[in-house]
Structure 1
Amino acid sequence: MTLIFLNRYFHPDHSATSQMLSDLAFGLSARGYDVRVIASRQRYDAPEARLPARATIDGVAIHRVWTSHFGRGKLIGRAVDYATFYVSAALMLWWLARAGDIIIAKTDPPMLSVVVAPIARWRGARLVNWLQDLFPEVAEAVGLDRHQAPSFVYDALRVLRNWSLRSAAMSVALGDRMAERLAALGVAPDRVSIIQNWADGVLIKPVVPKNNPLRHEWGLDGKFVVGYSGNLGRAHDYHTLLDAITRVESATPDSSEIRWLFVGGGALHSAFAGELRARGLKSVLFKPYQPRHLLAQSLSAADVHLVHLKPELEGLIVPSKFYGIAAAGRPTIFVGDGDGEIARIIRRHDLGYVVNEGDGRELAARVLALTRDPALCREIGARARQACEKKFEQQIAIERWEALLAGLPN
């Protein structure tokens, strides 16, 4: 039996879907599985990249297919990149797949399962949908439907997507809210499995401030640092963060030693930076994505982290950055739906705070309270690390995937 994964990005790319896939593919290969990956030759932040068409890394056979390379800057170019990946990946999958294989399709690009499902059926393979998001609902929630296509197009896409979900041997959801969405779409409960995303607790460990080279290099020694790591994109709304930063900077004397650290990029990154300049806010520091081997230092550079998701996206997306934050032993302040997936986890395990989107006053108050009680901040961080080791660790997730694969219906 061969496992064939499909996703647009794979190792050494640093994007969230790539890192999750890389962890699982290499982990299953190490446990004796025959693992193959179909991906593009691009990198998330470098569409001009040309990774090798064929490679074998740690036992995983990687098949990188040709795509156009317009990148993420314009939606039309991105759509062309998607389309060329669909065609190239489908041809490669037809060539690789055999009866009895298990095909695991992720959701980058969107609707990938619609392309994969008929090939899996024709080849006698079993399909597992690994759902990092639900499209086209995500596009509708962030407003892309108003600019890209009439409603009947999205209705047609939904029909095709639902067929691919119902025809799969299993669909893997990232949490309870997403599983609830799948049930509402008519996916049978015995064809849905919940496996959360995870963090590599060996790679990402808490680094104390005095031993953190990045914190020193970035001029953060002696500061209380509020971190935001990863993508700041259409699934997020920075206005709550902007309001909180404004309030904290106007507060005295706490604001003089508080820094807001944004590591990463995204579609809203430039607009957010422009708003900060327009308001004359000086306490925010921007840094680019950090390589994987520096994640422990990067995540540990903050004393507390922010995680945000628009409430209308609950059940469609789960911010995977939360799990790395927990591995780094840091509290999380979640901004979004008070009954969201991450909000539920935070409350269940007492790992930080939940703030409603739009409530900058409350967010500022939570930040200022933690600056005044560093012992509480460390205590919450210690609980986060413990929760990671017991519930969110990479090896735990791989074991759950092994059990799922072993129990798939024929």
Structure 2
Amino acid sequence: MKVIFVNRYVSPDQSATSRMITSIASALAQRGYEVVAVASRHLHNEDQTVLPPNEVISGIKVVRLTTSHFGRLKTFGRAIDYFFFHLSAFTWLVRHASRDDIAVVCTDPPFLSVTTAVALRLRGASSVNWVMDLFPETAIELGLFKRSPIVGRLARSLRNWSIGTSAAIACPTTTMADYLRDELSPRCPISLLRQWSDGKEIYPIAAADNELRTEWGLDDKLVIGYSGNFGRAHEFDTILNAAALLRDQPDIRFLMIGNGHQHARVVDAAKKLGLDNMIFKPLQPAENLAKSLCAADVHLVSLLPQLEHCIIPSKFYGILAAGRPTIFIGDLNGEVARVIDAYGCGKNIAIGEGQRLAAAIRELRDDTARRLEMGQIARRVLTNDYSYDQAIDKWCALLDRLDRSGDRVPHIEQRVSP
């Protein structure tokens, strides 16, 4: 059996999603599967880098397709990039996929399930749709189809048809899985395969041993971190409000690492508000990831409540691995909020409650013992419930079941825990 991963970005040193795909693919290769990854020749946030058309990463044969590269910041240019990746991926699968193959189809770019469904049907291969983000629901909730709701409904119908042809559908959260069960035929095989983080790649580093804190002038500070994508799905006004309320606290700093659609707006707002307590840094290379995440004493994760069924903030699992508490800003009954409540590895704040966020930060500053205890709990949660080894075992079990059945996999019921 050959397993083919299809996603626009496959690289161990890029976004959390890209690293997750690479880690699963490399683990399967180490366990004896023949693994091919089909991706683009570009990196997630580097406009100038062009990768070789073929390479081997951790036992994975990576095939990189030539596409346009206008970048992620302009909507029209991104749409052109999407189109050419769809076209190239379709062509490659029609030429190279075979009847015994299983293609793990990811969700970057949107509608990849539609393109691959046609190509894989032509070749008689099977697919597992790994649904990390739901499109077009995300765009609909953000108002991008407000002027053309019919297009949004058509897009959802196409998506439902395409993933409905899968041998299996992998969802990272119970909220997303329940939503898709309502959307699709009851016969559609939906599996709950939670996201994770590699505890060997990201691990706790004490503040005193972290040279990045010294390099960035953060020694003797309580550092409140945000790390990752500044995307449309995230909310930053609550964070800016809290930072403004805490601007006169000389021992508190906000460390904002990453980039994305809202990054320029957040930087501009911080300048206008005179928030000298807010420090911005670019995304860090993979070899610095543990140090980068551990440069913060507490991390912030935000998600717009209307997107709870569409998106899972992957950064949360890296924070667990780093052994740091999380303050979640969003739906108090959401997926991340439920984990935090169940285990006590952080705090939850509703969007717009900047004063409560500032108060929570002061509380964690003043109670060092409690803050450290939350971090220890976070690491235990990762080890017990969201570990790399557990994720690999579940993926192998799913693929082996598909290989034995040669057709659709029966619905997998799993105990739903926080």
Q: TM-score range by the shorter chain?
A: over 0.9
Give the Å deviation of 1:22.
Answer: 0.6
Q: Is the 8 A contact 1:235 1:313 kept in 2?
A: yes
CA distance in 2, matches of 1:199, 1:12: 13
Unaligned runs of 5+ in 1: none
Q: Name the amino acid aligned to 1:203.
A: E
Match of 2:59 in 1: 59
Displacement, 1:226? 0.3
The code of the aligned residue for 1:318 comes to I
1:12 deviates by 4.5
Kindly tell me the number of residue pairs found equivalent between the two proteins.
404
CA distance in 2, matches of 1:21, 1:94: 22
Counterpart CA distance in 1 for 2:12 and 2:179 is: 32
Question: CA separation in 2, counterparts of 1:7 and 1:13?
Answer: 15
- Is residue 13–residue 43 contact of structure 1 (8 Å, CA) maintained in 2? no
Equivalent runs, 1:209-228 vs 2, <5 Å: 209-228=207-226
The one-letter code of the counterpart of 2:244 is T
Find the aligned partners of 1:292 and 1:123 in 2 and give their Cα distance: 37
Query: Which amino acid is the alignment partner of residue 335 of structure 1?
Result: I
Task: Describe the SS at the equivalent of 2:224.
Answer: strand
SS, match of residue 256 in structure 1: coil
- In the alignment, structure 1 residue 118 sits paired with structure 2 residue 107: no
Offset of 1:54 from its aligned partner? 0.8
1:85 and 1:124, CA in 2 relative to 1: closer, same or farther beyond 3 A?
same
* CA distance in structure 2 between the aligned counterparts of 1:13 and 1:62, rounded to whole angstroms: 15
1:91 aligns with 2:95: no
CA contact (8 A) 1:240 1:359 kept: yes
Change (3 A) 1:189 1:313: farther
Could you say if the C-alpha distance between residues 187 and 318 of structure 1 is closer, same or farther in structure 2, counting changes exceeding 3 Å? Answer: farther
2:171 counterpart residue number: 173
The residue aligned with 2:296 is 302
Query: Distance between the aligned counterparts of 1:47 and 1:109, measured in 2?
Result: 17
For 1:151 and 1:13, the matched residues in 2 are separated by 38
In 2, the alpha carbon distance for the partners of 1:168 and 1:48 equals 36
Aligned residue in 2 for 1:282:
276
Aligned counterpart, 2:309? 315
Show the counterpart of 1:19. Answer: 19
What's 2:231 paired with?
233
Q: Is the 8 A contact 1:183 1:189 kept in 2?
A: no
What does residue 162 of structure 1 align with? 160
Query: Corresponding residue for 1:42?
Result: 42
SS of structure 1 residue aligned to 2:247: helix
Deviation at 1:203, TM superposition (A): 1.1
Matched, 1:395 2:393: no
8 Å CA contact 2:145, 2:151 repeated in 1: no
**CA drift at 1:120:** 1.7
In 2, Cα distance between equivalents of 1:209 and 1:187: 51
Structure 1 residue 72, shift from structure 2 partner: 1.1
- Residue by residue over 1:283-341, the C-alpha shift from the partner in whole angstroms, topping out at 9 and shown as x without a partner, is 01111111111111111111100000000100100000000000000000000001111
C-alpha displacement of 1:355: 0.6
The question of whether the paired residues in 1 share the 8 Å contact of 2:232 and 2:261 is answered with yes
Q: Which residue of 2 aligns with 1:350?
A: 344
What are the Cα deviations for residues 40-66 of structure 1, in whole angstroms up to 9, with x where unaligned?
Answer: 001111233210001122221111001
How far is the alpha carbon of 1:190 from its aligned partner? 5.8
Report sequence identity in percent: 44
Contact 1:166 1:188 survives alignment (8 Å) = no
Q: 1:370 aligns with which of 356, 364, 381?
A: 364
CA contact 2:130–2:169 (8 Å) conserved in 1: yes
SS at match of 1:145: coil
TM-score, normalising length from structure 2?
0.94
Contact 2:164/2:188 (<8 A) preserved: no
Instruction: Summarize deviations over 1:21-40 as a string: whole Å, max 9, x none.
Output: 11111111011110000000
* Offset of residue 122 of structure 1: 2.1
For structure 2, the residue ranges without an aligned partner over 5 or more in a row are: 408-418
TM-score calculated relative to the size of structure 1? 0.96
Which residue is 1:153 aligned to? 151
Are the counterparts in 2 of residues 13 and 44 from structure 1 also a CA contact under 8 Å? no
Mapped partners of 1:193, 1:53: distance in 2: 33
Q: Give the distance between the partners of 2:13 and 2:151, measured in 1 at CA.
A: 32
Say if 2:201 is the partner of 1:203: yes
